[in-house]
Each structure stands twice: as structure tokens, then as C-alpha cells.
Amino acid sequence: MNTRYRKTIIAGNWKMNKTLTETRAFAEELKPILGRPKWCEVVLCVPFVNLQAAGRLFKDAKVSIGAENCHYESSGAFTGEVSAEMLKDLGVKYVVIGHSERRQYYNETDFTVNKKVKAALDNGLRPIVCVGESLEQRELGVTLELITYQVKCALAGVPAEKMRHVVFAYEPIWAIGTGKTATAQEAQEVCQTIRTIIRKLYGARVARAVTIQYGGSMNAANAYELLSQPDIDGGLIGGASLKADQLVEIVNAANQE
């Protein structure tokens, strides 16, 4: 982390978990133990149907609300989809774009990721752009090339002045929901590469201000070491973000720096 130049962001990705009733119970449990973290922003990315309630439930807490996806068009005949404009109108601040589960199960491509990133930014949302390699790609030794390609595609046509709203999440697919975590060195190498690509595209000032998270089985036990790396500015957290006490332990690890 480098809190001098950029914001540390601890974001929970709830995926398709928690009913409205469970979201209410989580808020009751989280708020008294979270306090008001000084060095990091806490974000909860929740299912569409609970966004509005989450906004109300966490209004008096230091928690921002995010969605887990959006469509790239602002309106039209796209049954079942939700636009960035609709999210903004609900008071949502962040949106996860290109999560590997969406790439794997819903045909998300680098091309649609790019369109969604631009739609999010055009509507005043902060995209959390997920990139990451599969185990086969890591074993083939093409991780950094792949990440370079994904980051360049995601940012095509994004102007420098909007870059301060963009967050990247490096999420090795083999580490998501598996209990396997990248070592701090592996995660740092890729996060540093992401920053280098941004520097080549936009210059050093822009690059040093971009928040780059690590995601993939981050938990209370490994968070501090990961977050101590110079280019890891937070976490995108699935499983551990579903338990209020575990999320707070990760936030506390981010606040120790």
C-alpha cells in the first residue's frame, strides 16, 4: 500500500449471496465492530436486488455500496440487464467489471469489459476492473503478457482525466474461492506490472494514483502480508466478506500500515 498517493480500498464481493433479511442482519453486526476506518475505504458489492436497501442500511456507516456488474448500454431491449445509469441513480458508487465468474459463465470478453468500463465512467461510477490468469496460463508462463493484454483492452479509449476513478483488481482465477492464495511476491509482481502498463499509457502521475487490489482467498491471516506490498492497495474479497468479523479483521490489517 502507499496511502500517500492513493486510496486503499477493501471491497467485499458478495456474489449471489445474502437475502435482504441476511443483509439487514449483516449490517447490524458489522456497524458496531467496524468503527470508522481511517486509512481505507470499505465497499460492499451486493446483488442488484439489495443495492437500495444496502444504501439505506449503511448510510450511517463508513461503507460505500457497489454493484457486481452492469450493462454497457444505457437503456433498451436487454431483458434482465441493469445499466450503469440505473445504478448511479440508486446511489451506487462502485461496480465490479469483468469478474472471472462473469467471463467464465456469461461470455464476458475483454471487448465487453472495455465497453462496460466506459459506461461506468460516463455515468459517474467507479469500475473495479478484474483481471487475472488461469492456472494453465500461469504454468505456461504467460501471466504478465495476458495481464498486459487485459489491462490495455479494458482501458482502450479511457481518457487520462477519468483514470483516478478506475480501480483494478488482480484476481488469479486459480485463487478465487479455492483457499489458495497467490504469494505476496506473486501478487506484487502482477500488481506492479499493472501499474507499469498504466504508467506507459498515461504517465507516472496517473499511475501512482490508481488503486490496485489483490483478490483470491484473501482472509484475516494473509491480508497483512499482501497489503504490505508496495503496489497492493487493497483487496477484493469474496468468501471472507460474508462474515462481518472476518471483514473487519481484513480492514484492520489495512489500517495497520
Contact 148, 135 (CB under 8 A): no
Nearest residue to the partner ligand PEP, using Cβ:
238
Residue 234 as a binder of ligand PEP (CB under 6 A): the answer is no
Residue 35 as a binder of ligand PEP (CB under 6 A): the answer is no
Q: Is 159 helix (H, G, I), strand (E, B) or coil?
A: coil
- How many residues bind ligand PEP, per CB under 6 A? 14
Pick between residue 17 and residue 196 the one whose CB is nearest to ligand PEP: 17
| Residue in 93, 189, 199 with CA at minimum distance from that of residue 155 | 199
Question: Could you say which residues in the range 187-216 bind ligand PEP, by CB under 6 A?
Answer: 215-216
Catalytic residue among 68, 108, 133, 171: 171
Annotation says 71 is catalytic: no
Annotation says 171 is catalytic: yes
Residue 247 as a binder of ligand PEP (CB under 6 A): the answer is no
d(CA 153, CA 167): 15
| Residue in 119, 144, 120 with CA at minimum distance from that of residue 132 | 144
Pick between residue 216 and residue 234 the one whose CB is nearest to ligand PEP: 216
Residue 171 as a binder of ligand PEP (CB under 6 A): the answer is yes
| Residue in 230, 232, 235 with CA at minimum distance from that of residue 249 | 235
In this structure, what DSSP letter does residue 190 have?
H
> What's the closest the beta carbon of residue 96 comes to ligand PEP, in angstroms?
8
Pick between residue 133 and residue 171 the one whose CB is nearest to ligand PEP: 171
Q: Which string of x and - marks every residue 118-157 that binds ligand PEP (by CB under 6 A)?
A: ----------------------------------------
Residue 176 as a binder of ligand PEP (CB under 6 A): the answer is yes
Selected from 35, 124, 159, 177, the binder of ligand PEP by CB under 6 A is 177
| Residue in 163, 161, 240 with CA at minimum distance from that of residue 194 | 163
Pick between residue 159 and residue 177 the one whose CB is nearest to ligand PEP: 177
Burial (CB count <10 Å: 0-12, 13-18, 19+), residue 64: buried
Cβ neighbours of residue 182 closer than 8 Å, sequence gap 6 or more: 172, 175, 190, 214, 216
Residue 98 as a binder of ligand PEP (CB under 6 A): the answer is no
d(CA 136, CA 257): 34
Contact footprint for ligand PEP (CB under 6 A): 13, 15, 171, 176-177, 215-218, 236-240
List, by residue number, the catalytic residues: 99, 171
